[in-house]
């Protein structure tokens, strides 16, 4: 009798795998990353590199410390480090970037159980932690192609910039958030690769632009300034912290867009994207439950 490999059906699996999905996100972020490095110079490269390295190292050390099988191969730590790096100003002291990544990986992700178990987006939460800890360093930007430091004359802070400059990203900001064009291209890539669906970013952008228009702000500027593109395409769409249902994604996106504009318009901090996403992260389980579909054949029934 020849012993056979016995498994439970199905015995074939689809082409998607966790590492591949993470790799696609990294590929989609690369154009905006390279662009940011070109605009803001060597410091930007260092900041991103330190963020990524610190995220990977934190993940490795933590898993080692609690004797958990390391999950480095799934590349999720690289994505978190990269996203955080792109959310930092290019002049930030490098140790702050390293600290941010460690917070993202250890406190926000691993302490809740690692990949798939965190309730808030690690990169966003770490950015907020850095912002409230080091408010000056986190809002010190430079003008592209120069070393001229500005400490609030970003488009969000009230500076005046031509639309084309905003679209191509030639304005002060964090490393990865300025080039709307390349971020959108990355988003299109993710949609084509079926890594994300477009509902959430579109709902985010449409609701933000709509409310800005209603409040008398410039809706186009609302879309192309600050972290709105980076946030709506790459951070709000994080699988773990956004609802999986289509309707849920739309509700989540609309919520993010409205909160962003409310903070920008009425708040005393210039940027609202991070807080908006974090707040909606907290609501995700409820949105998911409320938008769950009924099983086939019971749609009309009352529960």
The CA distances from residue 110 to 72, 98, 114, 281, in Å, are: 12, 16, 4, 17
The encoded tokens of residue 181 equal 């064009």
Least distance CB 118 / another protein (angstroms): 10
Q: Which residues pair with 150 in a beta bridge?
A: 141
- Sorted by sequence, the CB contacts under 8 Å of residue 89 that are 6+ apart come out as 137, 138, 139, 140, 141, 142, 173, 174, 175
Nearest approach in angstroms of CB 26 to another protein is: 15
93 versus 244: smaller Cβ distance to another protein: 244
- Using the contact rule CB under 8 A, the part of the chain among 31-39, 70-78, 95-103, 154-162 near another protein is 70-78
Q: Is 230 within 8 Å of 183 (Cβ atoms)?
A: yes
The answer to whether residues 65 and 102 touch, using CB atoms and an 8 Å cutoff, is: no
Q: Which is nearer to another protein, 216 or 297 (CB)?
A: 297
Q: Does 2 bind another protein (CB under 8 A)?
A: yes
Q: Six-digit token pair at 110?
A: 């691993």
* CA 105/CA 133 separation, integer angstroms: 18
Residues in contact with another protein, counted by CB under 8 A, come to a total of: 39
4, 42, 160, 268: residue in contact with another protein (rule CB under 8 A): 4
Contact in structure between 288 and 242 (CB atoms under 8 Å): no
Look at residues 276, 175, 291 and name the one whose alpha carbon lies nearest to residue 235: 276
Verify binding: residue 13, another protein, rule CB under 8 A: yes
Q: Token pair for residue 158?
A: 């009230």
Q: Does 302 bind another protein (CB under 8 A)?
A: no
Interface positions, 262-301, toward another protein (CB under 8 A): 292-299
Whichever of 6 and 42 has its CB closer to another protein, that residue is 6
Cα torsion 48, 51, 57, 59 to 10°: value is -120
Instruction: Give, as ranges, the residues between 121 and 180 that touch another protein (CB under 8 A).
Output: none
Name the segment binding another protein (CB under 8 A); options: 56-64, 91-99, 113-121, 217-225: 113-121
- For residue 107, give the DSSP letter: I
Least separation in angstroms between residue 111's CB and another protein is 15
Looking at residues 236 to 255 of the shown chain, list those that interact with another protein (rule: CB under 8 A).
Answer: 239-240, 244-245
* Phi, then psi, of 88 in degrees rounded to 5: -110, 150
The single residue listed with the structure tokens 């300034």 is 225
Q: Does 114 bind another protein (CB under 8 A)?
A: yes
Closest CB to another protein among residues 43, 245:
245
Q: Does 21 bind another protein (CB under 8 A)?
A: yes
Between CA 233 and CA 187 the distance in angstroms is 6
- Judged by CB under 8 A, which stretch of 7-15, 27-35, 82-90, 153-161 contacts another protein? 7-15
User: Can you give the binding site for another protein, defined by CB under 8 A?
Assistant: 1-14, 16-18, 20-21, 71, 74, 76, 113-117, 239-240, 244-245, 292-299
């Amino acid at each position: 009798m020849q012993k056979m490999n016995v498994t439970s059906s199905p015995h074939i699996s689809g082409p998607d795998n966790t590492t591949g999905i993470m790799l696609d996100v990294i590929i989609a972020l690369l154009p905006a990353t390279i662009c940011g490095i070109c605009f803001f110079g060597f410091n930007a490269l260092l900041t991103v590199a330190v963020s990524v390295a610190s995220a990977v190292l934190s993940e490795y050390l933590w898993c080692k410390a609690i004797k958990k099988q390391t999950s480095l191969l799934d590349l999720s730590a690289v994505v978190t480090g990269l996203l955080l790096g792109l959310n930092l100003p290019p002049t930030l002291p490098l140790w702050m970037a390293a600290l941010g990544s460690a917070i993202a990986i250890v406190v926000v992700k691993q302490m809740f159980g690692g990949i798939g178990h965190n309730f808030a987006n690690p990169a966003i939460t770490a950015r907020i932690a850095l912002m409230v800890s080091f408010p000056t360093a986190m809002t010190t930007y430079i003008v592209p192609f120069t070393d001229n430091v500005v400490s609030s004359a970003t488009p969000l802070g009230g500076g005046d910039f031509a639309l084309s400059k905003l679209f191509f990203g030639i304005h002060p900001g964090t490393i990865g958030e300025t080039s709307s064009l390349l971020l959108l291209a990355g988003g299109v890539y993710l949609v084509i690769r079926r890594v994300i669906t477009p509902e959430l970013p579109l709902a985010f952008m449409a609701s933000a632009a709509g409310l800005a228009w209603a409040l008398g702000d410039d809706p186009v500027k609302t879309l192309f300034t600050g972290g709105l593109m980076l946030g709506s395409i790459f951070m709000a769409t994080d699988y773990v912290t956004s609802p999986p249902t289509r309707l849920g994604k739309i509700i989540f996106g609309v919520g993010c867009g409205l909160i962003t504009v409310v903070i920008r318009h009425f708040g005393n901090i210039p940027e609202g994207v991070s807080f908006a996403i974090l707040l909606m992260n907290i609501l995700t389980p409820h949105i998911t439950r409320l938008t769950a579909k009924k099983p086939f054949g019971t749609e009309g029934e009352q529960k």
